[in-house]
Amino acid sequence: MPAPLPSGTCVTIARPRLRPQAFALLCLVSLLVLSACSTREELPQHNDPGKYTIARNVVWASPDGADLAMDIYTPNAGAEPFPVVVMFHGGGWLINDKSIMDQAAAYLATHGRYVICNVDYRLLGDRDNTVTLDEIVEDAFGAVLWVQENIGAYGGDGARVAVTGDSAGGHLTAMVVNRGDWLSSDGFAAQPGGFNPTYLPPGRTAEDIAGRGGIQVQAAIPNYGAFDLYQAALNGFEGWSNIFWYMGGAMPRGVFGDDMNVDDNPDLYRRVSPISHIPDATQRQLPPQLVTAGGEDTLVTPASVQAYVKRLQSSGQPAQYWEYAGKPHAYLDSGSNPIMGTAFATDAPPALDVMLQFLDGVFYPSSG
């Protein structure tokens, strides 16, 4: 088990009634979108390129002919092979790409002893606005499998892998951990169905991997993630997220397409809700998870994140909660957002230090 972590002030906040807050949420999302275009301040103590080597835009899969790439940061000093951190960016599954996590990846590479894989996945507006959320989950699964199979060429240890991400990336992180055993070549729409990863090792099928216990990682850090898509859809998030669709250059629709909604297809939304797929530890042991939230986050509230942690703990799964007091959503993003009052240079490093402490407790326990 990793060592105990310092924490901010933990609070219990009742889940808000979201429907009356649609306008406020749209305003917040608009501010988050602005952060993608903000300036980026690089401080030497946050990013020392002399401490790592970076391989940019390594293509790991090409679903429907569209290349998906990752940036791979390898430490220049220390004993190889290194543990690996696979990172998924946020943006409501609709906007941003791996560049929004450039500074976080560089910070972890500068201060840690890990190979960092900063991953791109498909967005809902891609392929003429026909990508569905289950396909994005399959991209996340495929990225982890690619890393486990190929990261040795970059100094990494495919048997020691952690996953992390923020917001939508936090959701994908939790899906890898909780549903990495639910794999099927027939895909998500089949009965009983399952996820068919975008990448599979040569000569292997989804069933082969499922038969060996599924996709297994050794640690996870979901940051301010969306863990209950079913409840969020009931509360109308697909309608409120229209600003994300427009900023992504696509017409708004449901995350499973025009003809699917939560009222008629509740099972689809539960299938992609990590909180609905937490096994009892006596049946399947999950890796340790550090689950984080911003104390002033109104998009993914501390209460909703705490609900996920409590469900993990009540199932006997190892989970820690860390709340970043006074911080809003997206405090790990590169750059700065004067309107929101966030900046990577001042806001992200304390959180990334907590993440590194957790990872060190898992992968380097004897040195802590």
The CATH number corresponding to 19-362 among 3.40.50.10330, 3.40.50.12780, 3.40.50.1820, 3.30.360.10 equals 3.40.50.1820
The tokens for 151 are 């990261």
Q: What dihedral angle (degrees, nearest 10) is formed by the CA atoms of 104, 110, 111, 116?
A: 60
- Which residue do the tokens 């310092």 mark? 6
Considering the entire predicted model, what is its pTM?
0.90
Instruction: Give the closest residue to 221 by CA, choosing from 123, 97, 362.
Output: 362
Q: What is the pLDDT along the chain (368 residues), one digit of tens a residue?
A: 444 443 332 322 222 333 334 443 444 444 444 444 455 666 778 999 999 999 999 999 999 999 999 999 999 998 899 999 999 999 999 999 999 999 999 999 999 999 999 999 999 999 999 999 999 999 999 999 999 999 999 999 999 999 999 999 999 999 999 999 999 999 998 777 899 999 999 999 999 999 999 999 999 999 999 999 999 999 888 876 667 677 778 888 899 998 899 999 999 999 999 999 999 999 999 999 999 999 999 999 999 999 999 999 999 999 999 999 999 999 999 999 776 778 999 999 999 999 999 999 999 998 75
Q: State the alpha helices, DSSP H only, in 221-343.
A: 229-234, 237-240, 242-247, 266-271, 302-314
pLDDT score recorded for residue 193? 80
d(CA 247, CA 32): 11
User: What residues are paired with 195 via a beta bridge?
Assistant: 183
pLDDT score recorded for residue 32? 44
pLDDT score recorded for residue 305? 98
pLDDT score recorded for residue 20? 37
CB contact at 8 A, 304 and 228: yes
| Residue 55 C-beta-side C-alpha neighbours within 13 Å | 17
CB contact at 8 A, 194 and 210: yes
CB contact at 8 A, 286 and 178: yes
* Cα 271–Cα 272–Cα 274 angle in degrees, nearest 5: 100
CB contact at 8 A, 94 and 250: yes
CB contact at 8 A, 356 and 111: yes
pLDDT score recorded for residue 31? 42
Task: From residue 177, give the alpha-carbon distance in Å to each of 213, 244, 364.
Answer: 12, 26, 21
Domain ranges, ordered by start, for the chain: 19-362
DSSP 8-state secondary structure symbol assigned to residue 195: B
d(CA 134, CA 122): 11
pLDDT score recorded for residue 43? 78
